[in-house]
Amino acid sequence: MRAIFLAAIAVTLVVTVGLGAVIFLPIGQKVQPNNLSGDVNRGAYLARASGCIACHTDFAKNGNPLAGGVKFATSFGDLYSPNITTNKEYGIGNWSIENFDMAVRQGISPEGEAYYPAFTYEFYRNFTDQDIADLWAAFQTVAAVSNPSKDHEMPFPFNQRWGLKLWRVAFLTNPKTQSDPNKSEVWNRGRLLAEGATHCAACHTPRNLAGARKTKDRHFNGNESLPGGGKAPAIDINSLKKNNWTIENLAYALETGITPNGDSFGDSMGKHVLYSTSFLTPKDQIAIATYLLEEN
């Protein structure tokens, strides 16, 4: 009896200490102070390209820019994008640029908690210090809105943010944005945008049961079950070519939403074009198309 009792205590201890180690495990790297001077226009451009405005503005309800409230129905529960205006109480008006950097490049809150990957920070990990300074400068120009952020509706255990720490260890990867010296400047610019800021893979790469992208062998192979129920077709080079995409008509579609057969993109792609890629310069639209369609 006594042995069983002691064993039970031992197991409880191990589980508690183990769990505690995870719960209190510090994550991320310390952020270096950023004293660069930011360019508001460049920051606003990057915020468009990256979808910050698309995801954090409730266009359907005529919401104020960046005041949040957009619902993301994931298979783990419903998330709402928070208010990230300059409001001190409800937005990020009290944050430092270092808090902002930590959130955007590392997906970690000022309290040291992990964000859900529905916030596409995985794609922003290779943003430069200058990118962060530019974004920050642009965010300072956003009007403060006093809407409280909506609470997420995640059932147990997915409402336990410490679980995301385990997720990060298992699945967090860096985007493949590094330039390739054997490729053209246009191709490399396209890679930086497509693999990074414009996060094409967030919707066009299938995910595993833990909600992580199958980056190794299924990159851009399409996703049959997007949050909210949509489907994104494959956009790997072979699929694109088979469906008559060319650099020209893809760049045109990223600008206008009109596809080669005269249809227009529906669903979340329509929104991605409307609120994000249509704001890119023609040069950047061509760069993304070149990266996706030029033979390696």
Q: Interface residues with ligand HEC (CB under 6 A)?
A: 47, 50-52, 55-56, 72, 79, 81-82, 84, 92, 103-104, 109, 115-116, 118-120, 124, 135, 194, 198-200, 202-204, 230, 232-233, 235, 243, 245, 250, 265-269, 272, 277, 288, 292
* Prior bond of 33 cis (ω within 30°): no
How far apart are CB 216 and ligand HEC at their closest, in Å? 20
How far apart are CB 3 and ligand HEC at their closest, in Å? 44
| Closer residue to ligand HEC (CB): 7 or 22 | 22
Contact 292, 190 (CB under 8 A): yes
| Closer residue to ligand HEC (CB): 153 or 180 | 153
Count the alpha carbons within 13 Å of 115 in the hemisphere toward its beta carbon. Answer: 20
Contact 106, 29 (CB under 8 A): yes
Contact 121, 108 (CB under 8 A): no
How far apart are CB 20 and ligand HEC at their closest, in Å? 22
How far apart are CB 36 and ligand HEC at their closest, in Å? 16
How many other CB atoms are found less than 10 A from the CB of residue 280?
Answer: 22
CA 180 to chain centre: 23
| Closer residue to ligand HEC (CB): 8 or 191 | 191
| Closer residue to ligand HEC (CB): 145 or 250 | 250
CA distances from 275 to 163, 178, 237 (A): 32, 26, 25
Q: How far apart are CA 287 and CA 272, in angstroms?
A: 17
How far apart are CB 181 and ligand HEC at their closest, in Å? 24
